Chains A and B, each alone.
Chain A
């Protein structure tokens, strides 16, 4: 099975800050990676697919990069509504797996 790790597990940043979250895969997954945002009590929401493609309707301050085993989700200018937990997911092979999540808090 492909294991995903995320760092950091928690971050606190101010409105307007640039935030980066890293997702590492235990083996190469080319670009078969998605990022989701989840707010408390809500279903996850797709942000990025194919490692770097922004889902329709998602603000352009979100971006993704990487391939192989290392991927990055960037929020270019953090907004209050970005307070949430962010998960990466690999779609390269079964079982599909998620990272453990990164909780983003607004200072």
Chain B
């Protein structure tokens, strides 16, 4: 199992950025996928989730990003995306994609993580 994020970089406040996460080594379409971020020197913050095709690709978001960030996926490309709009300085963080082990509540933990990609929001 491997998850590889890309797309991070420096962006000005109010700008947009799209992160990608390419998965390999497992059946991507079976799994819920999540984004988690970590501001410099801070703890982990869950950003949001996209469910699998069996659950209609529905999404959940943290209040801090709802309405600004959109999670999507392309199962044909084994890829997960995070579209980030109206970026704020407080969105500066390392962004990780993570795989949920399963789709039932007792398997929602994250058993695999990517290496992370740094997003810096600054003028």
Contact = CB atoms under 8 A, between A and B. Distances in A.
Q: Is the interface of A mostly helix, strand, loop or mixed?
A: loop
B108 A32 contact: yes
A1 B61 CA distance: 12
User: How many interface residues does chain A have, given as a range?
Assistant: 20 to 34
Given A43-B113, A98-B46, A50 B60 contact: no
A30 to B, nearest CB: 9
Interface in A16-51: 31-32, 34, 36, 38, 42-46, 49-50
Contacts of B108: 32, 91, 96
22 contacts: A31-B106, A32-B106, A34-B109, A36-B44, A43-B115, A44-B44, A49-B109, A50-B106, A50-B109, A89-B44, A89-B109, A89-B110, A91-B105, A91-B109, A94-B49, A95-B60, A95-B63, A96-B34, A96-B46, A98-B44, A100-B43, A101-B44
Interface of B: 34, 36, 43-46, 49, 60-63, 96, 101, 105-111, 113-116
Given A43-B115, A94-B60, A98-B43, 11 more contacts: A32-B108, A36-B44, A43-B116, A49-B107, A89-B46, A89-B109, A92-B105, A95-B63, A96-B34, A99-B43, A101-B44
